A and B are shown apart, each in its own frame.
Chain A
Amino acid sequence: DSGVTQTPKHLITATGQRVTLRCSPRSGDLSVYWYQQSLDQGLQFLIQYYNGEERAKGNILERFSAQQFPDLHSELNLSSLELGDSALYFCASSNPAGAGTDTQYFGPGTRLTVL
């Protein structure tokens, strides 16, 4: 158990809908990262938040957005869903003290199926 929690574990929805994925980082971790794992694209970085502020953006679609709240949990919002958005979405957390890279610990993932 990494200490990172994600809900829900599974989500089935229809095209055009909007969903929210939730992540709670490990106790004390300030950084939250979101990744998407799909069969064709592999594991791809979406976005990073550090202590409530967006820090880095990757290949995140405009239909997707995220935020990190004062209690450090994060939500990833996916809207106008398409079939191709079906994937496993991971949240990871770390606690970088400054420059350098800390280890990212991953949650169990949320499997999104768009029908």
Chain B
Amino acid sequence: AQKVTQAQTEISVVEKEDVTLDCVYETRDTTYYLFWYKQPPSGELVFLIRRNSFDEQNEISGRYSWNFQKSTSSFNFTITASQVVDSAVYFCALSEADGAQKLVFGQGTRLTINP
């Protein structure tokens, strides 16, 4: 069975600090996909990144970076120089490659950036 664990329920930092959100996953599949979504206070789910299991290259997009390590089954997300607008709930999710393409979500991490 697939499972995603986001052990950090809430994180609070001061603006401009760097912050890392942890994500650990479990799957028996050799091919799978990992995602991060952002849910701001307005409630919608915003797609941030998708990674397949064969691509372990880290990715950077502006202040956002992602570290994928198959050896530890982790897909962590780092925000550099955080801003108040980064305040949101962040979800990590996993999907298998074949059959049901449902997303299995972690419980989410509520990130609060204080001015």
Contact = CB atoms under 8 A, between A and B. Distances in A.
Interface of A: 2, 31, 33, 35, 42-45, 48, 55-56, 58, 88, 90, 92, 94, 96, 99-109, 111
A81 B91 CA distance: 28
B104 A45 contact: yes
A56 B91 contact: no
Nearest to A96: B101
Top 4 closest pairs, chain A to chain B, by CB = A56-B100, A45-B102, A106-B45, A43-B105
Nearest to B32: A101
Contacts of A104: 47, 103
A109 B101 contact: no
A35 to B, nearest CB: 8
A76 to B, nearest CB: 15
Contacts of B104: 45
Contacts of A102: 101
A109 B102 contact: no
A68 to B, nearest CB: 15
Contact of A101 (B45, B47, B97): B97
Contacts of A90: 45
Q: Is the interface of A mostly helix, strand, loop or mixed?
A: strand
A4 B44 CA distance: 11
A101 B35 CA distance: 11
Given A58-B102, A104-B103, 17 more contacts: A31-B101, A35-B103, A42-B107, A42-B108, A43-B91, A43-B105, A44-B105, A55-B100, A56-B102, A99-B97, A101-B33, A101-B95, A101-B96, A103-B35, A103-B47, A106-B37, A107-B44
Nearest to B42: A108
A29 to B, nearest CB: 13
B99 interface: yes
Given A56-B99, A99-B98, A101-B96, A106 B44 contact: yes
Give the interface centre of B47, B96, B100, B106 by most chain A CB atoms within 10 Å.
B100
A48 B96 CA distance: 14
Contacts of A106: 37, 44-47
Contacts of B99: 56
